[in-house]
Chains A and B, each alone.
Chain A
Amino acid sequence: MTVTSTRADRSTTPSSAGPLADLLESAGLTGRGGAAFSTATKLRSALAHDADVIVNACDGEVGAAKDAWVVEHHLDELRRGAELLGRRVTVAAHRGTPTARRITAAGLALLEVPHRYVSSEESSLVSLAHGGLARPLTKSVPISLGSKDARGRRMRPTLVLNAETVWRVAQIEALGPDWFRSQGTLDEPGPRLVAVSGAVARPGVVQTSAGVSFGDLVAAAGGFSGRPTAFGIGGLGGGWLTAAEARGATWSGGDLAAYGLRVGPGIVSVLDDTRCPLAHVARTLTYAAGESAGQCGPCMFGVPAVAEDMGRLAAGTADRATLQRLRGRIGLLPGRGACRFPDGVAGYAASALRAFAPEVAAHLAGRCDVEGRGRRVR
């Protein structure tokens, strides 16, 4: 993972781009919204274009909770961070949530976002802020440079940053890059928030850093509340580790890369042995199918088709041909939507087939060893 892509960035930037960007670069801050892009690079581009700022506090990913936590506990620092980044600041949160109320009560400008998975994607937010629908746009030009809206009108250059990222900006400005780098790993420096949910005693937001063991993460959430079978990493845009794999790994880009995963938006959810993992994955994909913005054919038809095939697999009604079709359908999702939602869904589904290969084999043979306790499921 290229999280500390600092040297290459420096050569391309005017030195007038601002001391804050230099500070963020030496801290090695990367986006906490999932993609882990260099925040200094995004900020330099924003400063050069006098961009508007949108703080993304939507927690749109499945299992996400950390940005609500930042708003609840560190709103003053969040405001300070946002004001350092630009002159026109809006905070985006889902309509009617406590987070939205807190933002308004603090006198900050609120961008009210409808409850749909893809409405918190950056171009959705920028479209919404310009009076359009909260749907991803085809990006002819990067959003940071002012792309066009659905009617082809130019929108203002906009810097979209995750709420935790903005909080970290304020901390780095106050405490310095050395403080920041004293936590985490060389490749993934700095403190990080992780929302831990599922089969744990005290689901909630844990303050930690990359390199923490899964055992310590779970301990910080009160320990297991059942017998763990798998760890969901990063929600619908992430994937799965088996409990055995998680025992031998840390929550870090280096360890997760071996499974095609990354720390992403800071989400870990524990599955226990009371639930069939394939049934759980199928339910999550069915949710995903309803969340596509329905704009791009390959996503509009492909995601529901993947969800249906996974549903057949979980129900024990799939054969080898179904599995092969499922793999083919997953393989055709990436890179064929206006946003990266289908890419995320494809990664999630493929990761489930990898981590739950024994369960897949059992279901193909008509057995579910978890919810069916070894009985035939069809």
Chain B
Amino acid sequence: MSADRSPAGSRVGRGVPTTTTRPIVVDRVACTGRGICASILTEQVSLDEWGYPVVRTPQVDPELGEIAVRLCPARALSLGVPS
């Protein structure tokens, strides 16, 4: 695997068999700060004083992550490459 630094996630091997966690990514332009993500991903995401998410640990349980992605009203959440 090359060590190319440019494309996002290119250093993660494609052949990784099991997925334990996936990183949650917030599109900051799209996010409207309603905080549904924080009420689902209680361990990893908190809200700042204006209601915008603070991702304490990006690695989340993939199932909970999928739910948060689906319920985010602004479609601002996505899950990155598993690790």
Query: CB within 8 Å of B: which residues of A?
Result: 8, 11-12, 41, 45, 137-138, 140-142, 144-145, 150, 295-299, 301-302, 305, 332, 336-338
Of all chain A residues, the one with the shortest Cβ separation from B26 is A336
**A-B pairs under 8 A by CB, number:** 57
Q: How far is the CB of B7 from chain A (nearest CB, A)?
A: 7
For A138, what are the chain B residues with a Cβ–Cβ distance below 8 Å?
Answer: 27-30
Q: How far is the CB of A129 from chain B (nearest CB, A)?
A: 19
Known: A296-B31, A338-B28. 15 other contacts (CB 8 A): A8-B3, A11-B2, A41-B5, A41-B6, A138-B30, A144-B6, A296-B29, A297-B50, A298-B52, A299-B28, A302-B50, A332-B48, A336-B26, A336-B28, A337-B28
Interface residue B67 (Cβ < 8 Å from any Cβ of A) = no
CB distance B7 to A141 under 8 Å?
Answer: yes
Question: Whole-angstrom distance between the alpha carbons of A138 and B75 in the complex?
Answer: 13
Of all chain B residues, the one with the shortest Cβ separation from A140 is B8
CB distance B3 to A12 under 8 Å?
Answer: yes
CB distance B3 to A298 under 8 Å?
Answer: no
For A11, what are the chain B residues with a Cβ–Cβ distance below 8 Å?
Answer: 2-3
For A301, what are the chain B residues with a Cβ–Cβ distance below 8 Å?
Answer: 49-50, 52
Q: How far is the CB of B46 from chain A (nearest CB, A)?
A: 10
CB distance A332 to B31 under 8 Å?
Answer: no
CB distance B7 to A296 under 8 Å?
Answer: no
For A296, what are the chain B residues with a Cβ–Cβ distance below 8 Å?
Answer: 28-29, 31
Question: Whole-angstrom distance between the alpha carbons of A137 and B27 in the complex?
Answer: 10
Question: Whole-angstrom distance between the alpha carbons of A207 and B54 in the complex?
Answer: 43
Give which listed residue, B6, B8, B30, B48, contacts A298 with CB less than 8 A: B48
Q: Kindly name the residue among A142, A296, A338 whose own CB sees the greatest number of chain B CB atoms within 10 A.
A: A296
CB distance A141 to B3 under 8 Å?
Answer: no
Question: Whole-angstrom distance between the alpha carbons of A299 and B8 in the complex?
Answer: 23
For B23, what are the chain A residues with a Cβ–Cβ distance below 8 Å?
Answer: none
Q: How far is the CB of B27 from chain A (nearest CB, A)?
A: 5
For B52, what are the chain A residues with a Cβ–Cβ distance below 8 Å?
Answer: 297-298, 301, 336
Q: How far is the CB of B23 from chain A (nearest CB, A)?
A: 13
Interface residue B4 (Cβ < 8 Å from any Cβ of A) = yes
Chain B binding surface, main DSSP class: loop
What 8 A-B pairs have minimum CB-CB distances, sorted nearest first? A296-B28, A297-B52, A301-B50, A295-B29, A12-B4, A297-B33, A12-B2, A138-B27
Count chain B residues whose beta carbon lies closer than 8 angstroms to a beta carbon of A: 21
Could you jot down 13 A-B contacts, CB within 8 Å? A11-B2, A12-B2, A12-B4, A41-B5, A137-B29, A138-B28, A140-B8, A142-B6, A296-B31, A297-B51, A297-B52, A332-B48, A336-B28
Of all chain A residues, the one with the shortest Cβ separation from B10 is A12
Question: Whole-angstrom distance between the alpha carbons of A299 and B28 in the complex?
Answer: 9
Given the contacts A12-B2, A297-B28, A298-B28, A336 and B7 also touching, CB distance less than 8 Å:
no
1/0 per residue B21-46: CB within 8 Å of A?
00000111111110000000000000
For B2, what are the chain A residues with a Cβ–Cβ distance below 8 Å?
Answer: 11-12
For B8, what are the chain A residues with a Cβ–Cβ distance below 8 Å?
Answer: 140-142
Q: Kindly name the residue among A11, A296, A297, A305 whose own CB sees the greatest number of chain B CB atoms within 10 A.
A: A297
Of all chain B residues, the one with the shortest Cβ separation from A296 is B28
CB distance B3 to A338 under 8 Å?
Answer: no
Question: Whole-angstrom distance between the alpha carbons of A45 and B2 in the complex?
Answer: 14
CB distance A338 to B29 under 8 Å?
Answer: yes
Q: How far is the CB of A135 from chain B (nearest CB, A)?
A: 9
Question: Whole-angstrom distance between the alpha carbons of A141 and B28 in the complex?
Answer: 15
Of all chain A residues, the one with the shortest Cβ separation from B76 is A138
Q: How far is the CB of B72 from chain A (nearest CB, A)?
A: 14
For B32, what are the chain A residues with a Cβ–Cβ distance below 8 Å?
Answer: 297
For B4, what are the chain A residues with a Cβ–Cβ distance below 8 Å?
Answer: 12
CB distance A145 to B28 under 8 Å?
Answer: no
Question: Whole-angstrom distance between the alpha carbons of A45 and B4 in the complex?
Answer: 10
Q: Kindly name the residue among B2, B28, B48 whose own CB sees the greatest number of chain A CB atoms within 10 A.
A: B28
Question: Whole-angstrom distance between the alpha carbons of A41 and B51 in the complex?
Answer: 39
Question: Whole-angstrom distance between the alpha carbons of A297 and B37 in the complex?
Answer: 15
For A144, what are the chain B residues with a Cβ–Cβ distance below 8 Å?
Answer: 6
Of all chain A residues, the one with the shortest Cβ separation from B2 is A12
